[in-house]
Amino acid sequence: MAEAVGEAPGKALLMGEHAVVYGHPAIAVPLRSVKATATVEFSRNGGIEIYAPEIGEHITSVSEASPRLAPLAKLVETVSRFFGEERQGYRVLIESTIPIGRGMGSGAAAAVALVRAVCTALGRSLDADAIGEFANAAEIAYHGNPSGVDTAVIARDEPVYFVKSKPIRGIEVGPSAFVLVVADTGIASSTAQVVEDVRRARRKDKARYDSYFWELGSMASVAREVIRTGSPEELGLCMNNAQKTLRLLSVSCPELDALVSTALEKGAFGAKLSGAGRGGSMIAVVDPATNLEQFSADLRAAGAERVLTTILSGGTQA
Ligand code: PMV
């Protein structure tokens, strides 16, 4: 068999991170300028071998101890079994340009790309939401209790309005264009750890934390309506409000705050952390007339390691 290839984009959380874990809505967008690629070929000797050069890891069986690759090997096994092909052996190469631990969905994208490649290798197909659900099993191994928003947006490759355990919905984009800029602090953070810290803090002060989650979720709902009928200025207000609440949750950090301040000083309508926080990335919405080269240079001068841009417009995303 020739090699089968699957790809998946990165992603950014626009609204609703953390609250989404507690059943509130979130909005996520794909980041298509970074991607994960899985290349799969059948092997005669059975078993599952996975090589991931970016993280310098290689495993030759499902039972090998590798926190990053064992969940992916398990995923290959699960998808194979689903199609009644459990005896098939595989050799897998995982490559990615998505930085790890920056809230850009590196793990989820590797898993989605892999499910796609295995389906192609077997001559089968699954719809996007089924691919997302399979891939989320690997996320559970990485993060414990993920909401599922990362695999949902990455598998759909379109902006989503996501509520845990509810059907996933796309986002309708109205007449305005929403230019989004994502800046990577360069600091890797553990989603599992930050989510766990928030969970512990909530246990001690439930009413307060639940009110934060309500605010973040409500802001995500308002943002969805703004994207459908409103302006980038209004989306900016939602994002600034969300950032205030995320700071109260203590998931921001000085490096993220510096990128948020710079984005606002340089004319962004709104800016907030994106993803779990305590490192990872910042997301801003800017005037479509903004000189993006200059804006990106300003963010780099304020500490960003890389800056990516994506545009929501006319029902599509560039
Ligand atoms: O993986 P990250 O950093 O994009 O965070 C995902 C968003 C959280 O709401 C913090 C966790 C989750 O499972 O939804």
Q: Which residue of 136, 139, 149 sits with most ligand 1 atoms within 8 Å of its CB, as the best mutation to test the pocket? A: 149
CA 6 – CA 4 distance, rounded (Å): 7
Q: CB under 8 Å to 197, separation ≥6 — which residues? A: none
Local structure of 290: helix, strand or coil: coil
Q: What is the CATH number of the domain that holds 79?
A: 3.30.230.10
pLDDT digits (tens, 9 = 90+) for 190-247: 999 999 999 999 999 999 999 999 999 999 999 999 999 999 999 999 999 999 999 9
217 C-beta neighbours (distance < 10 Å), count:
22
Q: How confident is the model at residue 46 (pLDDT cuts 50, 70, 90)?
A: confident
Enclosing domain of residue 126 = 4-162
Q: Is residue 158 in a domain?
A: yes
Clarify whether residues 193 and 154 are in a common domain: no
CA of 142 to the centre of ligand 1 (A): 12
Enter the DSSP assignment of 155: H
Q: Is the pLDDT of residue 315 over 60?
A: no
Sorted by sequence, the CB contacts under 8 Å of residue 156 that are 6+ apart come out as 30, 128, 129, 132, 168, 170
Q: Which residues have any ligand 1 atom within 6 Å of their CB?
A: 13, 17-18, 20-21, 103, 146-147, 149-150, 191, 195, 275-276, 280
Together in a domain, 24 and 93? yes
For a pocket test of ligand 1, which of 11, 17, 151, 272 has the largest count of ligand atoms closer than 8 A to its C-beta?
Answer: 17
CA distance linking residue 134 with residue 237, whole number of Å: 36
216 and 275 housed in the same domain = yes
Residue 14 lies in a domain: yes
If asked whether residues 311 and 177 sit together in one domain, one would say yes
256 belongs to a structural domain: yes
Q: Is residue 35 part of a domain?
A: yes
Instruction: Report the residue among 191, 197, 209, 212 best suited for mutation to probe ligand 1: largest number of ligand atoms under 8 A from its CB.
Output: 191
Q: Which CATH number do you get for residue 267?
A: 3.30.70.890
Number of domains in the chain: 2
Q: Ligand 1 centroid vs 224 CA: distance in angstroms? A: 19
Question: Residue 103, by phi and psi: left (phi above 0), alpha (psi -120 to 50) or beta?
Answer: left
- Structure letter (DSSP) for residue 315: T
Residue 167 inside a domain? The answer is no
Whether 21 and 54 map to the same domain: the answer is yes
Asked if residue 54 is part of any domain, the answer here is yes
d(CA 280, CA 268): 19
Domain end call among 162, 182, 213: 162
135 and 77 in a common domain? yes
Chain segment 288-297, per-residue pLDDT in tens: 999 999 999 9
pLDDT in tens, 139-186: 898 888 899 999 999 999 999 999 999 999 999 999 999 999 999 999
Rounded to the nearest angstrom, the distance between the alpha carbon of 17 and the centre of ligand 1 is 6
Same structural domain, 151 and 204: no
User: Could you give phi then psi for residue 223, rounded to 5 degrees?
Assistant: -60, -40
Shared domain for 310 and 197, answered yes or no, is: yes
The fraction of the chain above a pLDDT of 70, given in percent, is 98
The one-letter amino acid at 87: R
Q: Are 286 and 179 in contact (CB under 8 A)?
A: yes
The verdict on 201 and 126 lying in the same domain is no
Measured in Å, residue 308 CA sits from the centre of ligand 1 at 19
pLDDT at 56: 83
% of residues, the chain, pLDDT over 90:
88
Same domain, 146 and 287: no
Angle (nearest 5°) at CA 220 between 217 and 223: 155
Shared-domain flag, residues 154 and 210: no
Residues 8 and 124 in one domain: yes
Does 267 reside within a domain?
yes
pLDDT at 316 over 70: no
Q: Answer with the one of 131, 162, 193 that is the final residue of a domain.
A: 162
- Say if 128 falls within a structural domain: yes
CA angle (120 as vertex; 118, 125 as ends), nearest 5? 95
| Mean per-residue pLDDT of the chain | 95
Which of 117, 144, 162 is a domain's end point? 162
Residue nearest to atom 1 of ligand 1 (CA): 103
